[in-house]
Structure 1
C-alpha cells in the first residue's frame, strides 16, 4: 500500500482550517480514502452517495488539494453572475420564502427557489438545474435541527480557538489523557430512519408501545479513540462520583483532563472533595453553556443509535444492553475509525 503520510498530514490540516462544512466533507472523504477506507464506508461516514465520494477522490487525483476547492465547477456557463449567486445563497440561509414575497410559504423547495430566480433575475431553470446551482453554492436539502437560543457564540469560539488548543498542547507532557464525557439515555423507540427496502413498500417495525432503555455514562479518548462506557440506573451526583472513580481506575497513570457539559451533577458539592484530593490526576474542563455540538462524544451517541436502535424491535432491555455492549466492543477494536469519524473535526 503506498505511503501517503505527507498527503494525509496536509489533508488533516486542511480539514482543521476548512471554512465550510462542505469543504470539510471533501477533505475528510479524501483523507479517509488515503487511510484505506472503502468508498462505501466513506459514503456512510460522511452521509453522501458513493458517486459523490468517487467525484471527490477523482478531483483530488487530478488536481490535488486544489481540486477539492469549491471554485472548481465544471459544466455550462453560468446564467447567474457570482454576485447574484451569492445573494441567492444569503437569501436561502437567512430568510424564509414568506420574507421575499411567497405568501404563507415557510420552507424552501426547488420549485420556490426556481420561481425566485426567474422573478428576481430572469433566467428560467429546470428543477434539476436549480438543484445543481444550490449544490455548487454549498447548499443541501437537509432536515433543520434545533439550537439552544441561550448559547454564547463568543464563548464557543473561545473554546474552539483558545481553550481546547491549549489543552492539546499539553498532551504527552503535563496531560496524558483528554476525555470527552457525557451521559445518554438509549431508548428502544428512538426513531425510524430511512433504509433500503422493496419499492412501494415499507419495512414494518413491531412495537409493544412501551418505553424502555439504558442510562449510559461514558468517555471518548480524544487521542486514542477509546470509548469507556458503563450503565447506571440513574443520573445523580453519587453516580457521577462513582464514575469519576472508575475513570481513574481505568486510566491508572498520568493526568486526565475531562471535557464535559454543565449538567448540575457535574458541579455537585458531593464531588468537590474528590476533585480536590485528586487534583494532580483529574481536571474538569467545562464546555460553554448550551454547546452540545462541541462535545465530541455526542457524535458517539448518534452513531450508536443509528447502528443499534433505529429500525430495530427490542422485546427486552437485555437485548438492548447486549447490542450496545457489542457496539462498544466493535468500535474499540478499530479505534482509528472512531478518531477519523469523531475526533479530527476539533
Structure 2
C-alpha cells in the first residue's frame, strides 16, 4: 500500500526546518537531490534551492520563507460549500436532486456543483475533490426501486424475529433459498492487455445456460438442484422433497416472492407436509436480505475461472463442482451470513 506524505505547505516552521537539515545531511551522505526530495515529500526545486544556499553561505543562508500558495487557496469551492455537497452525496440520490444519473459519479457531482453554486468545474477537478473528501469509486449495490421500506422494517423487527423464535421452539433448521442462472458466455472478471488495446475472450454459444436452486443454513449446510429452463412449481416441490429427504427434523424454508414459490400446487404440497415443513416469504423486491444471494455471487465469480464452457453438460458440471466443494466448507457458507445486509440472521 503506497504511503501518501502530507503537503509540506501545511507543516509548521519547526518541521520545515528539520526537513531542510535532513535534506542537506542526505545530500552530504551521498544521496542525489532527486532521491532526497522524493523521500522527504518536497519538490526537487526546493531541495536544489536549499542546497545552493547552504553551499554558498552555510546554514544561516538557508531560506526561511515559504514558497507556493497556502494549502486550500485557489480552490473553486469553499470549505462550507464542500461540507454541504458532501451532506447531499451522503443523504440524497442524483434523482432526488433532479440530476440525470443512476449513481453519484464524477459527471453527476459536476452537475450538482453547477446546480447548487452555478460553478462549472472540470471533471478531473471533481475527481480531486472527491478523493480529498474521502470518496472512492465502488461497484454500486443494487436496490429495488419498488421495495417497500415499511415492509422491510416489519420483516427485520417483527416477522423474522418471530420466525426465529418459532424455529428455536421447534428445533427447526432454517434454509434460505434462491434461484440463479449462469450463462456459458458470461465472465464477470477482468483481463490484462496492452495500453490502448482491449482484453478479449472467445465466447461460446450465448444460448448455453444452466440454472440452480439452492438453500443454505447459518450453520453451514448446503443443498442444491441444477436444472435447465425456468423454475416451476413442480421443480420447486422437487427441491423441497430433497430437503425433507436429506435434512432431519423440522425445516423452515425462507424464499423470495417468485411466482413459482407460491403456486397453488406448492401451497397444497407444503400443507401436506406441515408436520415437518414450513415456507416463509421475504419482503418483496428485497434480494439483499437473502444470504443465498451472496452464494450466487460467489458462484458466478468462480464458475468460469478455468475458461468458458462450450456445452450445457460442461456448464452443469462446473456448477455442481463448485457446489460440492461448498458441501465440505461449512465455515465458508457461514461467511455469506456476515454481509451487513444479512447478519440479522447469522445466528439463531
TM superposition score category, shorter chain reference:
0.5 to 0.7
Q: Whole-Å Cα distance in 2 between the matches of residues 111 and 213 of structure 1? A: 37
Provide the TM-score with structure 2 as the length reference: 0.63
Counterparts of 1:24-63 in structure 2 under 5 Å?
none
Relative distance call for 1:130 and 1:248 in structure 2 (3 A) is: same
| Aligned pairs (5 A) from 1:247-326 | 247-252=243-248, 254-309=249-304, 312-326=307-321
Determine the C-alpha separation between the residues in 2 that align with 1:213 and 1:113. 39
Counterpart CA distance in 2 for 1:96 and 1:268 is 37
Secondary structure in structure 2 of the residue aligned to 1:94:
coil
8 Å contact 1:193–1:311 — kept in the other structure? no
Q: Following the alignment from structure 2 to structure 1, what is the Cα–Cα distance between the partners of residues 141 and 274?
A: 38
Q: Unpaired segments of 5 or more residues in structure 1?
A: 1-49, 53-75
Superimposed CA distance per residue, residues 72-109 of structure 1 (whole angstroms, 9 cap, x where no aligned partner) = xxxx9999657852543415733369947xxx888754
Is contact 2:173-2:250 (8 Å) kept?
Answer: yes
Structure-1 residue corresponding to 2:19: none
Deviations 1:124-143 (A, max 9, x none): 99556413344x3xx44245
Over 3 Å counting, the alpha-carbon distance change for 1:311 and 1:199 in structure 2 is: farther
The equivalent of 2:163 in structure 1 is 167
Structure 2 contact 224–239 (Cα < 8 Å) conserved: no
For 2:198 and 2:169, the matched residues in 1 are separated by 55
Per the TM alignment, residue 120 of structure 1 is displaced from its structure 2 partner at its CA by 3.7
Taking the TM superposition and a 5 Å limit, the aligned residue runs for 1:101-112 are 108-110=104-106
Alignment of 1:186-225 (within 5 A): 186-196=182-192, 199-221=195-217, 223-225=218-220
Please point out which of 82, 85, 110 is paired with 2:83: 85
**2:66 aligns to what?**
none
Please say which of residues 154-163 and 190-199 is displaced more in the overlay.
190-199
Aligned-partner Cα distance in 2 for 1:218–1:105: 35
Counterpart Cα distance in 2 of 1:152 and 1:115: 29
Partner residue, 1:131: 130
Partner in structure 2 of residue 336 of structure 1: 331
CA distance in structure 2 between the aligned counterparts of 1:336 and 1:106, rounded to whole angstroms? 36
Aligned-residue offset at 1:167: 2.8
TM-score in terms of structure 1 length: 0.63
Q: 1:263 to 1:111 in 2, by over 3 A?
A: closer
1:169 Cα shift?
A: 3.6
C-alpha displacement of 1:212: 0.7
Asked whether the 8 Å contact 2:212–2:224 carries over to 1, the reply is: yes
Query: Is 2:240 the counterpart of 1:241?
Result: no
CA shift, 1:338, in A, is: 2.4
Gaps of 5+ in 2: 4-70, 343-348
Tell me the matched-pair count. 265
* Equivalent residues of 1:187, 1:212 under 8 A apart: yes
Cα RMSD (Å): 3.7
